Amino acid sequence: MNICVFSSSSNAISDVYFEEGRKLGRLIGEQGHTLINGGANVGLMETVTVEASKHGAKTIGIIPERFAERSLVSENSQVIITTRDMMERKAKMRELSDAFIALPGGFGTIEEILEVLTLRQLNYHNKAVVFINTNNFFDHLFKQFEVSFEQNFAKDIYRALYFSAKNSEEALEFISRYEPVDLDSKWYIVPFK
């Protein structure tokens, strides 16, 4: 299975995040999966790539020209695909992947996983979307989701669009038994004036 991992490019984060990244990479390799990620040689991206490759995974990095020109390409990615920009990069990652995992990360990571989640909501794909909630990193994001559910900005059925995993083992277990949920595609009733 081709598993896309969105994650931080920061080297300044706590080691608890790197530990989980190493574990995820190792499990992806040991379970015979292919890793798809951003292809950079920094942060959790590089950590996951190194461990996945070390444990037998095929690793595919997808990186925009701008970053490649700044010598940010991981030498541990067995295949590098260079794209014109971030939009093309994300589209290629989605095209090649069978499932999506978000490790903790900054604005880019959150934007990437939310775009995948939105496209799942709109039935552009029916692939698994998983957050690994290391150190409760995503708790505030999930609280914002709850506000959307409570105030009818999002339907309750959309809770089934994603899974919050405590760790890498739970994330990969969920993906291995994932079955897509049929979504209610009807819009909310719009009040007439």
The CATH number given to whatever domain includes residue 83 is 3.40.50.450
**Residue 189 forms part of a structural domain:** no
Q: Give the residue numbers spanning the domain of 124.
A: 2-176
**Residue 193 forms part of a structural domain:** no
Coil, strand, or helix at residue 60? strand
How far apart CA 51 and CA 29 sit, in angstroms, is 8
Q: Which two tokens stand for residue 37?
A: 């990620």
**Residue 186 forms part of a structural domain:** no
How far apart CA 24 and CA 147 sit, in angstroms, is 30
- Amino acid at site 90: K
- The dihedral formed by the CA atoms of 108, 131, 2 and 96, expressed in degrees to the nearest 10: -40
How many domains does the chain fold into? 1
**Residue 24 forms part of a structural domain:** yes
Q: Give, for all 193 residues of the chain, the pLDDT tens digit.
A: 999 999 999 999 999 999 999 999 999 999 999 999 999 999 999 999 999 999 999 999 999 999 999 999 999 999 999 999 999 999 999 999 999 999 999 999 999 999 999 999 999 999 999 999 999 999 999 999 999 999 999 999 999 999 999 999 999 999 999 999 888 767 666 666 6
Output the CA–CA distances (angstroms, integers) from residue 41 to 48, 57, 59, 63, 66, in the order listed: 10, 17, 13, 10, 14
Phi, psi of 64 (to 5 degrees): -70, 150
**Residue 119 forms part of a structural domain:** yes
**Residue 185 forms part of a structural domain:** no
